[in-house]
Amino acid sequence: MRERRSVAECLHDAFSLEGEVAVVTGGGTGIGFAVGKALTGLGARVAITGRTESVLREATEKLGNRATYLVHDLRQEGTVSVLLEKLAAEVGPITILVNNAGVHLKKAATDTTTDEFKALLDTHVLGAFRFSSAVVPHMVKAGHGSIVFMSSMTALIGMPQVIAYSAAKSAYLGMMRTLACELAPNAIRVNAIVPGWIDTPMLAKAIKNDDERKRRILTRTPLGKFGRPEDIGWAVAFLSSPAAQFITGTVLPIDGGASVGF
């Protein structure tokens, strides 16, 4: 007779990330750290990356024994594959990638230099491309995978003084859709999250000394508040779990309703 499983057991299996190995770029602070916390909380082994070792070390200690860190600059050419091969040799094939790392530039379009524009695209777009390309062989070997791009509200709505950032985050959505189609035959799912205004150091910098900007953000957000990094972390965990096994090519706004608010 077939053994009946409890609802709790079914839910555990649906959302469990035990046996998975994840890489979270920019995982030392803010949203990236919250993503790492959610993934480790569901059983995944997680490697966070970033440029500052002291920040990564402190974050890893907080995340616990399922976490490790890799010091890496997204702008470096030809180093990602070696980095991932070393990680895989230590903990197993990488099955989750979260393209989260990035920098912000608040500057009028007419004042943004070509070099500034290129530098931001190099960090966001080329950095995510390098990691996504390098991780695919690992996911193919594992027989499945999940790639999540961390986009932005600037990819959905017009916003002044962020032309380079907007271009980069919009590029994420195009990359995501193409990869979702190309990698589906290998059981690799690719999705994007569009965080609204989340209470992080990056947001604090963006609205510093700009009370009118803060007021406008909260006014156009139906829930009337900033989100928490944890709101994004749990969404990434869901998209990376078996519960989302039929979800690919999706853009998921987590914005308190801001993208549809009036």
Of residues 33, 131, 165, 226, which has the active-site annotation? 165
- Coil, strand or helix: which one is 97? strand
Tokens of 193: 């999250």
235 vs 172: CA distance, rounded Å? 17
Active site residue 165: yes
Residue 259 has what DSSP assignment?
T
CB-CB contact of 247 with 189 (8 Å): yes
* Entry field: residues in the chain: 262
CB-CB contact of 66 with 86 (8 Å): no
Residue 194 has what DSSP assignment?
E
Q: Give every CB contact of residue 132 below 8 A, 6+ residues apart in sequence.
A: 97, 99, 147, 175, 179
Q: Give every CB contact of residue 59 below 8 A, 6+ residues apart in sequence.
A: 27, 28, 29, 33, 36, 48, 67, 69
C-alpha dihedral sign at 20, 24, 28, 29:
negative
96 vs 3: CA distance, rounded Å? 32
- Coil, strand or helix: which one is 5? coil
* Strand (E) or helix (H) holding 7: helix 7-15
Residue type, 72: H
Active-site residue set: 165
